Amino acid sequence: NAGVTQTPKFQVLKTGQSMTLQCAQDMNHEYMSWYRQDPGMGLRLIHYSVGAGITDQGEVPNGYNVSRSTTEDFPLRLLSAAPSQTSVYFCASSSGRTALGTGELFFGEGSRLTVL
């Protein structure tokens, strides 16, 4: 059972570089989301999607773009990386079409990003 797969697991970038964090799920979940985890701040929602073609901003969307062309994939793009984006990023998916959070979130293993 693959569940939620994130790549890469580790990445080092220089300020101003761009990159894409990949997220794929094989559970046919409508809802997918991206979080960043920083010490003492828990997980903060960056962007989420309630289905293919539908995305919305979360709590900390600035500096990040997302798209949802298929049910399975939800990539997160950093167009011009900044040191403040150094963090651990988690992708998650859930059944259900809404972001009410009534379904269990299934998380990927995380991607550790360092921006120099």
The residue ranges that bind other proteins (CB under 8 A) are: 33, 35, 40-45, 59, 90, 92, 99-102, 104-105, 107-110
User: How many C-beta neighbours within 10 Å does residue 113 have?
Assistant: 21
**In the complex, minimum distance from the CB of residue 34 to other proteins, in angstroms, rounded to a whole number:** 11
C-beta of 68 vs 81, nearer to other proteins: 68
C-beta of 38 vs 82, nearer to other proteins: 38
C-beta of 52 vs 105, nearer to other proteins: 105
**In the complex, minimum distance from the CB of residue 50 to other proteins, in angstroms, rounded to a whole number:** 11
Q: How far is CA 16 from CA 31, 38, 63, 79, 91, in A?
A: 30, 21, 11, 8, 23
C-beta of 54 vs 79, nearer to other proteins: 54
**In the complex, minimum distance from the CB of residue 48 to other proteins, in angstroms, rounded to a whole number:** 8
Residue pair 54/68 in contact (Cβ under 8 Å)? The answer is yes
Residue pair 78/14 in contact (Cβ under 8 Å)? The answer is no
Peptide bond preceding 8 in cis form (omega within 30 of 0): yes
